[in-house]
Chains A and B, each alone.
Chain A
Amino acid sequence: MANVSATADSNTGPVSTGPVVRSGGNPFRFLGALSLGDYLAIAPFVIFALMFLLVPTLGLVVGAFVDAQGNFTLQNIAGLDDPQIMRAFTISVEISAITALLGSGIGLVIALAVIRGGLPSAMRSSLVTFSGVASNFAGLPLAFAFIATLGRLGLVTIILKTLFGFDLSRSFNVISFWGLAVTYLYFQIPLMILIIAPAIDGIKKEWNEAAATLGATNRQFWLWVGLPILWPNLLGSLSLLFANAFGAIATAYALTGSSLNIVPILLYAQIQGDVLHNPGLGAALALGMIVITAFANVIYLVVRTRAERWLR
Chain B
Amino acid sequence: MKSKWLGMVSVTALMVGAQVSGAFAAGLDDLVAAAKKEGSLTTIALPHDWCGYGAVIDAFKAKYPEITINELNPDAGSGDEIEAIKANKGNTGPQAPDVIDVGLSFGPSAKADGLIQPYKVSTWDSIPDSAKDADGYWYGDYYGVLSFLVNDDIVKTAPKSWADLKNSEYANSFALTGDPRVSNQAIQSVYAAGLANGGQPGKDAGEKGLAFFAELNKATNFVPVIGKAASVAQGTTPIVVNWDYNALAWRDGFQGNPKAQVIVPSDAVVAGVYIQAISAFAPHPNAAKLWMEYLYSDEGQLGWLKGYCHPIRFNDLASKKAVPADLLAKLPDAALYAKAVFPSLDEQAAAKEAITKNWDASVGANVK
Contacts and interface: CB of A to CB of B under 8 A. Distances in A.
Q: Do chains A and B touch in the complex (CB under 8 A)?
A: yes
B182 A175 contact: no
A79 interface: no
Interface stretch (B128-136, B142-150, B224-232): B224-232
Contact of A175 (B76, B80, B223, B366): B223
A176 interface: yes
Interface residues of B, number: 28
Nearest to A277: B83
A151 B236 contact: yes
Interface in A237-286: 256-261, 272-275, 277
Contacts of B236: 147, 151-152, 173-175
Nearest to B235: A152
Contacts of B368: 176-177
B235 A261 contact: no
A259 B367 contact: yes
A91 interface: yes
Given A170-B171, A175-B236, A257-B226, A273 B76 contact: yes
A273 B366 contact: no
A260 B367 contact: yes
A84 interface: yes
B367 A256 contact: yes
B154 A152 contact: yes
A175 B73 CA distance: 22
B172 interface: yes
Nearest to A260: B367
Contacts of A153: 154, 234-235
A135 interface: no
Contacts of B75: 258
B32 interface: no
A106 B123 CA distance: 67
Given A147-B236, A173-B223, A257-B228, A87 B366 contact: yes
Contacts of A91: 366
A169 interface: yes
Given A152-B234, A152-B235, A259-B226, A273 B83 contact: yes
B265 interface: no
Given A84-B360, A174-B236, A256-B367, A273 B225 contact: no
Contact of A151 (B84, B223, B235, B367): B235
The 8 A-B pairs with the shortest beta carbon distances in the complex, nearest first, are A152-B235, A273-B80, A260-B367, A259-B225, A273-B83, A153-B235, A274-B87, A257-B226
Interface of A: 83-84, 87, 91, 147, 151-153, 169-171, 173-177, 256-261, 272-275, 277
27 contacts: A83-B360, A84-B360, A151-B234, A151-B235, A152-B154, A152-B236, A153-B235, A170-B171, A171-B172, A173-B223, A176-B368, A177-B368, A256-B225, A257-B225, A257-B228, A258-B179, A258-B226, A259-B224, A260-B225, A261-B366, A272-B73, A272-B80, A273-B73, A273-B83, A274-B83, A275-B182, A277-B83
